[in-house]
Amino acid sequence: MLSIFEYSFMIRALIAGGVIAIIAPVIGTFLLTKRYSLLADTLSHVSLAGVALGFLLGISPLSTAVFVTVVAAIILEKLRHDQKIPGEAALAMFLSGGLALAVTLISATRGMNINVLSYLFGSIATVQLTDVLIITVLSGFVLLILASFYKELLYISFDEETATVSGLPVRLLNVMLMVLTAISVTVSMQIIGVLLVGALMVIPVITATQIARSFKQIIGYSVIFSVFSVLAGLFISYYLNLAAGGAIVLLALGIFVVVSIFKNK
């Protein structure tokens, strides 16, 4: 059973997965409160374009993915704030546009190779030590900013208009939250996969809302559910030779079902 710890790539995956399991639901809690749960899925599709751009240019895919996704998040917030395009329409446009750009860039690299597929569906075997360090540093940065501006972000998540009247820099805070989401999505995709990263930001949070009685409890419970889903999912994917992202999300869904059943009883 403990043979999993004999392989360095699995140790790296468990460390990176544990970090991701903490940051994803914390960001997701703010997004769900703002009714912006589709943002994670949208940015994950954009991040795939960033990955494809990295392969095309022959540089680090994670670096280009972070850059492209952060830029897209800032543009999305600007469109939403200026009300030039309704929020949901902007998300739909960027989701389809990001995927179209990714497909185009991938075709320019003469086909989708195995490296791109690992980002699309998640792959524990491709996580390198450098990736673990980048994921840890960026996630630590996200958590530090969230902790520093917790009250302000909580305020704008519930009521932007009142926060504006109170003198808070709402637009700047929204941009900051979008950028933090973009970073979180990008660092999560190598373990969870682009197609499933949004689920890890949403499902544990929805599960936590079934039993939590405060915003902080939602964050706490969602992190617990997320960490269990990720670590158990990685074990299952290793021993049963299954896709890591799929196993993680299915476990998260299973926890939601169990919690919902016990709550109803």
Q: Which pair of structure tokens corresponds to residue 147?
A: 């902790």
Q: Is residue 265 part of a domain?
A: no
- Read off the pLDDT of residues 49-64 as tens digits, 9 standing for 90 and up: 888 888 888 787 888 8
pLDDT of residue 149: 92
Q: Is residue 97 part of a domain?
A: yes
Mean pLDDT score, 5-21: 84
**Where does the pLDDT of residue 87 fall: very low under 50, low under 70, confident under 90, or very high at 90 and above?**
low
- Read off the pLDDT of residues 192-251 as tens digits, 9 standing for 90 and up: 877 788 888 999 999 999 999 899 999 999 999 999 999 999 888 888 888 888 889 999
What CATH code is carried by the domain that includes residue 240? 1.10.3470.10
Domain of 93 in residue numbering reads as 2-259
Q: Is residue 264 part of a domain?
A: no
Specify the pTM. 0.86
Q: Is residue 158 part of a domain?
A: yes
Higher pLDDT, 28 or 62: 28
> Number of folded domains in the chain?
1
pLDDT of residue 35: 80
Q: Is residue 224 part of a domain?
A: yes
DSSP 60-112: -HHHHHHHHHHHHHHHHHHHHHHTSS-HHHHHHHHHHHHHHHHHHHHHHTTS-
Start-end of H helices in the chain: 8-33, 38-57, 61-82, 87-108, 114-121, 129-148, 150-158, 160-165, 170-192, 197-209, 215-240, 244-264
Q: Is residue 129 part of a domain?
A: yes
Q: How many CB atoms lie within 10 A of CB 26?
A: 24
Q: Is residue 93 part of a domain?
A: yes
pLDDT of residue 265: 66
Mean pLDDT score, 11-16: 87
Q: Is residue 120 part of a domain?
A: yes
